[in-house]
Amino acid sequence: MRWIVSLSIVLGCAVTACGGPQIPVHNGYKPKEATPWKKPKPLKFDDKGEAKAEGDLSYPDMRRARWFELNLPSSGQLTVAVEVTPPGDAVNEEFDLGMEVLDPGYRVISKSDLEDEDAQQLTKKKTLVELAPGKYLVHLFLQGRMDTADFVLRAAFKPTAAAEVKSNFPAEVPFVPVLAQVPLQDDTPRSYKPVVVEKHGARHVRTAPPPPPTATVSARIINVQIVAGGTQITLGRGTTTGASDGMHGSIRGVPGGFQIGGCNERTCTATIKATPDQIKASDNTVTLTP
């Protein structure tokens, strides 16, 4: 009977923890603060660009985390430091106060918790450079259900110095290309006659359609090169007008015809079945037809 009473006492202590601390079963947040990040405490920078906040956290008392808001007025560097004072009789020997910094898009851009190198350190410091202006959030949170702590949060902001813009105008301005010459007198052909039409009682002047292209044109050969399959000739477009891809060409004294192609603003090319000597004997003249 005596061992039954002893067992009852042991079981009773196990159930009631013999007066020891009770481990919270909640998540550390009050029901009305399910989304505490939506109401962060704003911190204002002073004339030196510094801000400070103090407070305490307690997981058992449903004060697990604190959120702070920092508004950066311009691009620059933000330094966030936190000093932690854990309880003297801390139950959790691996106590660590977690810290996160979130950008205006609620993305974590810096963090420190039990998984990082500075875990369990009582002083943590993060420096973030080249930040864009906007609202940033600092999140402090406990990671153990029995944890409590006091903290001092400090933030410092240094704006990015405006880069001095030096101009070497007009050293890098390109020269204006050679423009086409404009005749001093009107070069409109004397035979040109505008077409006058009547439309709904109003008088309109319609430009006469351009004349049809010449049936046959001539071009000069400016280069000859032996290639696979024959000889490639290059025609200078400056020596003729109306030359275009697909036109048929012929050379006096050279049998067979060919088509020109690869036309650009200055030249056209063609490959023919002839030797350079045959081409030179033709006075380097090509006749082109549509």
Give the mean pLDDT of 119-139: 93
- DSSP-derived letter for residue 17 is G
Cα angle for residues 50, 51, 53 (degrees, 5° grid): 155
pLDDT of residue 8: 40
pLDDT of residue 245: 84
Q: Distance from CA of residue 39 to its chain's centroid? A: 32
Binning pLDDT at 50, 70 and 90, where does residue 58 land? very high
Look up tokens 């650009």; give the residue. 264
Burial of 274 (0-12, 13-18, 19+ CB in 10 A): buried
* Parallel/antiparallel/unpaired status of strands 41-43 and 65-72: parallel
pLDDT > 80? residue 60: yes
Collect all residues with Cβ–Cβ distance below 8 Å to 162 and sequence separation of at least 6.
none
Give the mean pLDDT of 141-145: 90
In whole angstroms, give the CA distance from residue 35 to residue 21.
Answer: 28
pTM (2 decimals)?
0.49
Contact, 41 vs 53, CB < 8 A?
yes
Neighbours of 95 (CB within 10 A): 21
pLDDT of residue 75: 93
Collect all residues with Cβ–Cβ distance below 8 Å to 96 and sequence separation of at least 6.
113, 114, 119, 120, 121, 143
Give the mean pLDDT of 129-154: 93
Binning pLDDT at 50, 70 and 90, where does residue 18 land? low
pLDDT of residue 240: 54
pLDDT digit string (tens) for 207-262?
Answer: 556 555 556 788 888 888 888 878 888 888 655 556 788 888 888 888 888 888 88
pLDDT of residue 149: 93
Backbone angles phi, psi at 4, to 5 degrees: -70, -40
